[in-house]
Chain A
Amino acid sequence: MSKTYDIIVIGGGHNGLTAAILLARKNKKVLVLEKRPVLGGIAAGEEFHPGYFTIGLLHDTGTVRQQVIKELNLAKFGLKTKARPAIGLLSKRGDCLPLSADVDAAASAISKFSSKDAAGYKEYAAFVSAIKPFMANLLNELPPDLSALGTKQLWALVKKGLALRWLGKKTMMEFLKVAPMSIADFLNEKFETDFIKAGIGAPALYGSFNGPWSSYTTINLLMGESMAHEQIAGGPQALVAALEQAAENEGVEIRTNAPVEKILLDTGRKVSGVKLKTGEELKASIVASSCTPHVTFYDLLQPNQISYALEHAVKHYRSRGTTAKVNLALNKEVLFNNVGGLEFYRTGNSFDEMERAFDPAKYKQFSSEPLLDIHVPTVANPNLAPAGHSVLSILVHFAPYNLKEEWNEESKKKLYSIVMKTLENYSPGIGSSVVGSEVLSPADLELRYSLTQGHIYHGEHAVDQLITRPFPLCAQYATPISGLYLCGSGSHPGGSITGMPGYLGHKPSLKIVESSGK
């Protein structure tokens, strides 16, 4: 006899768990299925070399939304937040600028390089803070439904328009002007020092198929900045640990090592449950998938179970992975441009060099000098490596999924040596202290985390793939398949560790279970 649940959540990442907790809280019988032996997905910590650990594939937890933490009561389950630590912006000349979360402290650090840039930073920070109410409206609420334009949908749009207008005329006009700009054009207006501009702008390129001169990258930057908040102490894996406890507390049943083979539909084309790779069938009239749209619709359903409109939308939803991961185990504490003790560092150096780092991705090659997003988890938690040793968790941009020479041990070795060569610019001799390493290509990320084309955000952050994310047909978390919902990073408001797709995504499925009178 197969077991019956109210809701089955596919994927035990932070979004899947968030949705599961909120659904279980309404007295629903919820099951979470995770294919890996550990929960957390891209937020799971990994032992990549005996005795050396990372705290997640992605490492920035400053994007986790406050309302998720609050509503899930995560503090009760051991979650602690801390002020966002300074990020070391590195230049090839040997500079390291600690960009603190505190605007005045950051400006004063910048003033050592340029007083104009210090003033520019204050202006920039003031603008980011001014547009926060509008960005919050955009990112923290259900996306507008553009499938039909009735009174209800128009009103939702009007409210968004008003939120923009309420920023004040000056801020609104500035926002409308800069949002479509490239970060290079936008930041060139405010800053003069190359490596500072590059360092501030870099996150806009993460998870997008763009270089700094690509248009619409500013909106990505502003979205990221608007989300930036306190960090979670212990990083992504600490968030997962708290979510796991909260889930347990709400009675969510969790099964790891339980890869799903298919979502099952009954003859009326409604969801009836899932079939595991082991052949076991589990019943539920609602399935919430935190997998990528491609995995959900192409892999977990039969081709004839989706309409042509959906087939087309999934096919053209862009998720060209361009990020690789390099984890390094070092036998000492590391310095970058002679500065140590920071948790985060960014390379970039200048827009031209960033653009050159992106260019090869278009031609299926990886950068000869990639843009590195470096995390040193051992600064906050020395226990992640043997005493006196350290760990570097590096997100490498740009390394395309569809590499011309294909991803294999040899191409990964090449990428590794390029990353090490790049690191030498900032930390001479670093190679000699490496005792262990791991290189994860986009192809590896796809295999390990079921990330389509290894895309860390379940799909590119591009203007047309935000808000009505992943595509208008499924922008409200509901899908054309009755009983199937989305709650992963492929949905609004998008990727990185926010918890929002799970938080917002649980609402429509909940409405359905409740209206069905269960």
Chain B
Amino acid sequence: MPLPTPFFPRTSALCHSMKWKEWAGYYAVCSYETLHDTEYYAFRNSAGLLDVSPLYKYRVTGPDAAAFLSRIMVRNIEKLAIGRVSYCCWCDDHGKVVDDGTVMRRGEQEFFVTSADPCYSWFSRFLRGYKVELSDISDQVAGLALQGPTSRDILKQVCDADLDGLKYFATCKARVNGFEVYISRTGYTGDLGYELWVDHEHALKLWDAIMAAGKNYDIRPAGLDALDVTRVEAGLILKDVDYFNALHALIDDRKSSPYEISLGWTVDLDRAPFNGQAALQAEKEEGSKWAIVGLDIDWPQLEELYYKRGLPPVLSNHAWRSSIPIYTAKDKRIQAGYATSGTWSPILKKNIALATVQKKYDKIGTELQFEVTVEHVRHTVSAIVSKTQFYNPERKTFTPKSSKS
């Protein structure tokens, strides 16, 4: 049975829809109201507060902490400056992705790592020879994501951190009413936003402080349904949806390299050996088989298909995450790949998807065919390959004042 997170006394009181799901062994709200629209618009227009406590969290400390993480991660963590956050993934021996997450450098010898899957077992396999201490602090630290255009203003009321100077993918320690939180300017919405990490004992105090301060900024508690729409708009991939953990894949074909899931930019090959280095080097030279792309699905064609059957176009309210075949424009018998998740983007007014396609079809502007089923009959509509990052507001990365560090 799932467990309540430290925020459960608040989230359960607010969750009028009774829509819950299990996330990493915890109860997580899908949407507080029957429909997630208002929560989505909070993320995009004001601020949404999301309980992300179920994320797995690890602390790595010690003189070799940076070297240890560099051996595991595809990025060179030794180069990560104190107070900076790195989004990265980690691979098995064959260069296939095990999981992705963030690594935050809190000190010369102190790191905080988040992941989607439990990774203690994987990380601990590489402890030999490194002077580090690895601890799983998943059930000691609670997490809140405060995301949206007004999130900075809300947070300023709550804590003493220099938020105007805190850059995108930076992290700092702050005080809130006598207790400590770690703030990182990160998130899964592709908008201005922060994630806050706090010890369990102070979790409710933090929630209350933020909700109180957010009152004048139209803050809303938000659930995973709203998050799912924003993350597709932002082109952020999701494990077990857009790719699979290589350690859990039943067949080799389900495994992906970072290059194949749009994380090639995180791979730093030219350095001390790390997991999967040789395989990744070879793949970089020989080329990858697959690529994750964005798809902009043609609306008039879809409307036409429904119109022919005397129906208005029907789209799900929710972001979807099922495998949909993608065909080449020339020949609908040739499968170019498959879409793994998608949504109607309310802010872009577009029907968008994330898809895994064969490398030769990954050029932006390439026309492909997206399968749709209208009244039990399968059709295809045109879909244009685009950047995965459909929505990317300036405020996401804008820093009001550049910090003098």
A positions within 8 Å CB-CB of B: 265, 269, 298, 302-305, 307-309, 311-312, 315
Determine the distance from Cα of A303 to Cα of B67 in the docked complex, in whole angstroms: 11
Quick check: A303 and B125 within 8 Å, CB to CB?
Answer: no
Quick check: A304 and B71 within 8 Å, CB to CB?
Answer: yes
Looking at A298, A303, A309, A312, the one whose CB has the most chain B CB atoms below 10 A away is A303
Is residue B277 contacting chain A, with contact meaning CB distance below 8 A? yes
User: A308 is contacted by which of B92, B129, B277, B278 (Cβ under 8 Å)?
Assistant: B92
Which residues of B (88-142) have their CB < 8 Å from a CB of A? 92-93, 125-126, 128-130
Quick check: A269 and B278 within 8 Å, CB to CB?
Answer: yes
B positions within 8 Å CB-CB of A: 67, 71, 92-93, 125-126, 128-130, 272-275, 277-278
Which residues of chain A have C-beta atoms less than 8 A from B125's C-beta? 308, 311-312
Known: A269-B277, A304-B272. 5 other contacts (CB 8 A): A265-B273, A269-B278, A302-B129, A303-B128, A308-B92
User: B126 is contacted by which of A269, A303, A309 (Cβ under 8 Å)?
Assistant: A303
Quick check: A304 and B273 within 8 Å, CB to CB?
Answer: yes
Chain A residue with Cβ nearest B92: A308
Contacts A298-B128, A302-B129 given; indicate if A307 touches B274 (C-beta within 8 A): no
Looking at A265, A298, A307, the one whose CB has the most chain B CB atoms below 10 A away is A307
Which residues of chain A have C-beta atoms less than 8 A from B274's C-beta? 304
Chain B residue with Cβ nearest A310: B93
State the Cβ distance, A155 to closest chain B Cβ, in Å.
Answer: 26
State the Cβ distance, B280 to closest chain A Cβ, in Å.
Answer: 12
User: A303 is contacted by which of B93, B129, B278 (Cβ under 8 Å)?
Assistant: B129
State the Cβ distance, B67 to closest chain A Cβ, in Å.
Answer: 8
Determine the distance from Cα of A350 to Cα of B51 in the docked complex, in whole angstroms: 69
Quick check: B128 and A308 within 8 Å, CB to CB?
Answer: no
State the Cβ distance, B36 to closest chain A Cβ, in Å.
Answer: 41
User: A311 is contacted by which of B128, B130, B273 (Cβ under 8 Å)?
Assistant: B128
Determine the distance from Cα of A305 to Cα of B92 in the docked complex, in whole angstroms: 14
Contacts A269-B278, A303-B71 given; indicate if A308 touches B273 (C-beta within 8 A): no
Chain B residue with Cβ nearest A265: B273
Which residues of chain A have C-beta atoms less than 8 A from B92's C-beta? 308
Determine the distance from Cα of A305 to Cα of B130 in the docked complex, in whole angstroms: 13
Determine the distance from Cα of A315 to Cα of B128 in the docked complex, in whole angstroms: 10
Q: Is the interface of B mostly helix, strand, loop or mixed?
A: loop
Which residues of chain B have C-beta atoms less than 8 A from A311's C-beta? 125-126, 128
Chain A residue with Cβ nearest B273: A304
Quick check: B130 and A308 within 8 Å, CB to CB?
Answer: no
Chain B residue with Cβ nearest A306: B273
Chain A residue with Cβ nearest B278: A269
Shortest 10 CB-CB contacts between residues of A and residues of B:
A303-B129, A304-B71, A307-B93, A304-B273, A308-B93, A309-B93, A305-B273, A303-B128, A308-B125, A269-B278
Contacts A303-B128, A308-B126 given; indicate if A269 touches B93 (C-beta within 8 A): no
Give 24 CB contacts A-B under 8 Å.
A265-B273, A269-B273, A269-B278, A302-B129, A302-B273, A303-B126, A303-B128, A303-B130, A304-B67, A304-B71, A304-B126, A304-B272, A304-B274, A305-B273, A307-B275, A308-B92, A308-B125, A308-B126, A308-B275, A309-B93, A311-B125, A311-B128, A312-B125, A315-B128
State the Cβ distance, B196 to closest chain A Cβ, in Å.
Answer: 34
Which residues of chain A have C-beta atoms less than 8 A from B272's C-beta? 304
Which residues of chain B have C-beta atoms less than 8 A from A269's C-beta? 273, 277-278
Chain A residue with Cβ nearest B275: A308
Which residues of chain A have C-beta atoms less than 8 A from B130's C-beta? 303
Determine the distance from Cα of A302 to Cα of B273 in the docked complex, in whole angstroms: 9
State the Cβ distance, A299 to closest chain B Cβ, in Å.
Answer: 10
State the Cβ distance, B242 to closest chain A Cβ, in Å.
Answer: 25
Which residues of chain A have C-beta atoms less than 8 A from B273's C-beta? 265, 269, 302, 304-305
Which residues of chain A have C-beta atoms less than 8 A from B71's C-beta? 303-304
Which residues of chain B have C-beta atoms less than 8 A from A308's C-beta? 92-93, 125-126, 275
Looking at B129, B274, B275, the one whose CB has the most chain A CB atoms below 10 A away is B129
Determine the distance from Cα of A315 to Cα of B124 in the docked complex, in whole angstroms: 13
Determine the distance from Cα of A304 to Cα of B92 in the docked complex, in whole angstroms: 13
Looking at A298, A304, A311, the one whose CB has the most chain B CB atoms below 10 A away is A304
Determine the distance from Cα of A309 to Cα of B278 in the docked complex, in whole angstroms: 14
Chain B residue with Cβ nearest A308: B93
Which residues of chain A have C-beta atoms less than 8 A from B128's C-beta? 298, 303, 311, 315
Chain B residue with Cβ nearest A307: B93
Which residues of chain B have C-beta atoms less than 8 A from A298's C-beta? 128-129
Determine the distance from Cα of A265 to Cα of B274 in the docked complex, in whole angstroms: 14
Chain A residue with Cβ nearest B129: A303
Which residues of chain B have C-beta atoms less than 8 A from A312's C-beta? 125
Determine the distance from Cα of A298 to Cα of B130 in the docked complex, in whole angstroms: 12
Determine the distance from Cα of A307 to Cα of B125 in the docked complex, in whole angstroms: 11
Chain B residue with Cβ nearest A305: B273
Which residues of chain B have C-beta atoms less than 8 A from A315's C-beta? 128
Chain B residue with Cβ nearest A299: B129
Which residues of chain A have C-beta atoms less than 8 A from B129's C-beta? 298, 302-303
State the Cβ distance, A58 to closest chain B Cβ, in Å.
Answer: 30
Chain A residue with Cβ nearest B122: A308
Determine the distance from Cα of A308 to Cα of B95 in the docked complex, in whole angstroms: 12
State the Cβ distance, B396 to closest chain A Cβ, in Å.
Answer: 35
Which residues of chain B have C-beta atoms less than 8 A from A307's C-beta? 93, 275
State the Cβ distance, A396 to closest chain B Cβ, in Å.
Answer: 31
Which residues of chain B have C-beta atoms less than 8 A from A265's C-beta? 273
State the Cβ distance, B305 to closest chain A Cβ, in Å.
Answer: 49
Determine the distance from Cα of A302 to Cα of B68 in the docked complex, in whole angstroms: 12
Which residues of chain B have C-beta atoms less than 8 A from A305's C-beta? 273
Chain A residue with Cβ nearest B72: A304
State the Cβ distance, A453 to closest chain B Cβ, in Å.
Answer: 16
State the Cβ distance, A266 to closest chain B Cβ, in Å.
Answer: 11
State the Cβ distance, A147 to closest chain B Cβ, in Å.
Answer: 14
Determine the distance from Cα of A315 to Cα of B275 in the docked complex, in whole angstroms: 17
Determine the distance from Cα of A309 to Cα of B246 in the docked complex, in whole angstroms: 14
Determine the distance from Cα of A305 to Cα of B126 in the docked complex, in whole angstroms: 11
Which residues of chain B have C-beta atoms less than 8 A from A303's C-beta? 71, 126, 128-130
State the Cβ distance, A294 to closest chain B Cβ, in Å.
Answer: 11
State the Cβ distance, B104 to closest chain A Cβ, in Å.
Answer: 22
Determine the distance from Cα of A310 to Cα of B177 in the docked complex, in whole angstroms: 51
Determine the distance from Cα of A227 to Cα of B200 in the docked complex, in whole angstroms: 66
Determine the distance from Cα of A103 to Cα of B176 in the docked complex, in whole angstroms: 89
Which residues of chain B have C-beta atoms less than 8 A from A302's C-beta? 129, 273
Determine the distance from Cα of A265 to Cα of B278 in the docked complex, in whole angstroms: 13
Chain A residue with Cβ nearest B271: A267
State the Cβ distance, A12 to closest chain B Cβ, in Å.
Answer: 27
Determine the distance from Cα of A303 to Cα of B70 in the docked complex, in whole angstroms: 12
State the Cβ distance, A243 to closest chain B Cβ, in Å.
Answer: 34
Chain A residue with Cβ nearest B70: A304
Which residues of chain B have C-beta atoms less than 8 A from A309's C-beta? 93
Determine the distance from Cα of A269 to Cα of B281 in the docked complex, in whole angstroms: 11
Chain B residue with Cβ nearest A312: B125
State the Cβ distance, B73 to closest chain A Cβ, in Å.
Answer: 12
Determine the distance from Cα of A265 to Cα of B126 in the docked complex, in whole angstroms: 19
State the Cβ distance, B7 to closest chain A Cβ, in Å.
Answer: 36
Determine the distance from Cα of A265 to Cα of B273 in the docked complex, in whole angstroms: 10
Chain B residue with Cβ nearest A314: B128
Looking at A308, A312, A315, the one whose CB has the most chain B CB atoms below 10 A away is A308
Determine the distance from Cα of A305 to Cα of B272 in the docked complex, in whole angstroms: 9
Determine the distance from Cα of A312 to Cα of B67 in the docked complex, in whole angstroms: 20
